[in-house]
């Protein structure tokens, strides 16, 4: 059944809650902070991502934690507001937080100077600064996932694989008019010069619920390929307007931010054919997801609707929680007695090697130089019911991506911007 956007948001968005009391001083805990946006732009995206994180932490804690330590996650609503997120950051810092995951580009950018000074690990999965992949400049900023420049490079290479030659072709980017939405532009411009395609952009105002004026322009542009780059309500709006304007969805590809929830809004059958970048497996097939179904949801301990388990954003949350916990395990392997601090965890995060979360994601290795983890992903297509992989895991155009990373990180060293 197709839902209206208003009805979907009213029923599906809920700030995840966790049944964790504040830990006493003598308890063996590792504190993470998750001030995420559940009510402004990222909405159900953040809710489903957070649910996946919390369920994975419950899985780990239910098995005794890591070296006898439990993961304590503090989840709050930042509403994508920088002052609100900073206030939460300062509170959690006083409480001994060693990692923070805001899932927000503007919040992550605002926190960079603080975490570099405080030596608290800032996770910027699918958000934040793409140049933070350069760990030599951003030692405590941890994308731990294919950044936006990598996603753009991989999407363009998929287009090249389909058409064999992009010379003379037209690629357009429809994007949220924010730093997040503009993030892929440098890579798409550089690749256009290298591969010979024509590139143009079509921005729309946040949060993205009104794109009616943009898509007729996109239709008239007669692009060979369309990349659409938003989050939350912006993505379902883009799809709805593309369909309304008669644009072929099988020549449209999203960044990482497209999910089953967007299809519920647009209509599962209506969205058939659209493509997306995929950082990890979807569905309930991966072992970790099956374990959560059995050991967490099956015992009534889930953080949200069981129907969301295995969906894209849920699995992203599990992916990132698993990487965080793997960092904890690696930190204990290096320093079994701690102390449990940001630098201690950083040593673990930057020694993750060939980690797949039991098959959920492509093998990733994080080093002190490469905080991205290798930059591998794949392209998937919506078949009307689920996302179906169209490629194996691969990386592409990393020479262009890393040239941009190094140029931007060098500028940060000079200007702090």
CATH (one of 3.30.70.260, 3.40.50.300, 3.40.50.720, 3.40.50.2300) for 148-281+379-414: 3.40.50.2300
Please give the pLDDT value at position 13: 44
Tokens of 269: 């059958």
Domains of the chain by residue range: 12-146+283-376, 148-281+379-414
With cut-offs at 50, 70 and 90, classify the pLDDT of residue 16. low
pLDDT for 198 beyond 70: yes
> What integer is the mean pLDDT of 130-147?
96
DSSP 131: G
The candidate with the shortest Cα–Cα distance to 129, out of 191, 183, 49, 189, is: 183
DSSP 132: G
Please give the pLDDT value at position 40: 87
Could you tell me if 357 and 322 are in contact, meaning their C-beta atoms sit under 8 angstroms apart?
Answer: yes
| Rounded Cα–Cα distance for residues 240 and 8 (Å) | 14
With cut-offs at 50, 70 and 90, classify the pLDDT of residue 348. very high
| Rounded Cα–Cα distance for residues 181 and 170 (Å) | 19
Compute CA 383 distance to the chain's CA centroid, rounded to the nearest angstrom: 22
Tokens of 190: 């550089």
**What percent of the chain has a predicted confidence (pLDDT) above 90?**
88
Rg of the chain on CA atoms, in Å = 20
**What digits encode the pLDDT tens for the residues 350-379?**
999 999 999 999 999 999 999 999 999 999
Which pTM does this prediction carry?
A: 0.91
| Rounded Cα–Cα distance for residues 142 and 133 (Å) | 7
pLDDT for 64 beyond 70: yes
| Rounded Cα–Cα distance for residues 146 and 187 (Å) | 14
| Rounded Cα–Cα distance for residues 320 and 331 (Å) | 17
With cut-offs at 50, 70 and 90, classify the pLDDT of residue 312. very high
Expressed in angstroms, the distance from the first to the final Cα of the chain is: 47
Which strands, in side-by-side order, build the sheet including 275-278?
198-204, 170-176, 225-229, 252-254, 275-278, 378-382, 387-389
With cut-offs at 50, 70 and 90, classify the pLDDT of residue 4. very low
Domains 12-146+283-376 and 148-281+379-414 share a fold: yes
HEC states along 196-251? Answer: CCEEEEEEECCCCCCCCCCHHHHHHHCCCEEEEECCCHHHHHHHHHHHHCCCCHHH
| Rounded Cα–Cα distance for residues 272 and 263 (Å) | 9
Residue 63 CB-half CA count within 13 A: 13
CATH (one of 3.10.20.10, 3.40.50.2300, 3.40.50.1100, 3.40.50.300) for 12-146+283-376: 3.40.50.2300
Alpha helices in 37-124 (DSSP H): 43-62, 82-94, 105-118
């Amino acid at each position: 059944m197709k839902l209206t956007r208003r009805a979907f948001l009213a029923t599906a968005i809920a700030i995840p809650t966790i049944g964790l009391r504040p830990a006493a001083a003598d308890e063996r805990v590792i504190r993470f902070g998750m001030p995420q946006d559940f009510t402004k732009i990222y909405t159900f995206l953040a809710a489903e991502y957070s649910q996946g994180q919390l369920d994975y932490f419950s899985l780990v804690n239910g098995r005794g934690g890591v070296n006898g330590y439990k993961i304590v996650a503090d989840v709050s609503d930042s509403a994508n507001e920088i002052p609100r997120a900073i206030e939460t950051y300062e509170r959690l810092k006083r409480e001994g937080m060693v990692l923070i995951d805001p899932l927000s580009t503007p919040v992550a950018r605002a926190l960079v100077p603080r975490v570099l000074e405080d030596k608290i690990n800032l996770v910027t999965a699918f958000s934040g600064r793409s140049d933070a992949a350069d760990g030599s400049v951003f030692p405590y900023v941890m994308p731990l996932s294919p950044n936006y420049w990598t996603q753009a490079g991989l999407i363009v290479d998929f287009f090249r694989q389909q058409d064999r030659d992009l010379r003379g072709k037209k690629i357009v980017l429809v994007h949220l008019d924010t730093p997040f939405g503009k993030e892929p532009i440098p890579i798409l411009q550089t690749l256009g010069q290298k591969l010979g395609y024509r590139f143009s952009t079509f921005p729309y105002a946040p949060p993205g619920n009104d794109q009616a004026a943009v898509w007729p322009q996109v239709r008239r542009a007669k692009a060979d390929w369309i990349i659409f780059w938003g989050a939350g309500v912006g993505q379902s709006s883009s799809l709805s307007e593309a369909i309304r304007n008669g644009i072929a969805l099988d020549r449209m590809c999203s960044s990482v931010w497209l999910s089953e929830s967007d299809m519920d809004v647009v209509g599962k059958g209506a969205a058939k054919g659209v493509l997306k970048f995929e950082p990890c497996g979807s569905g309930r097939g991966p072992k970790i997801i099956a374990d959560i179904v059995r050991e967490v949801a099956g015992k009534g301990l889930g953080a949200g609707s069981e129907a969301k388990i295995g969906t894209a954003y849920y699995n992203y949350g599990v992916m990132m929680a698993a990487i965080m916990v793997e960092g904890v395990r690696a930190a204990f392997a290096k320093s079994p007695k701690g102390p449990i601090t940001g630098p201690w965890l950083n040593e673990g995060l930057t020694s993750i090697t060939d980690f797949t979360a039991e098959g959920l994601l492509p093998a990733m290795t994080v080093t002190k130089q490469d905080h991205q983890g290798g930059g591998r992903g794949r392209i998937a297509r919506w078949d009307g019911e689920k996302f179906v992989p169209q490629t194996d895991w691969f990386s592409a155009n990393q020479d262009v991506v890393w040239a941009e990373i190094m140029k931007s990180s060098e500028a940060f060293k000079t200007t702090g911007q």
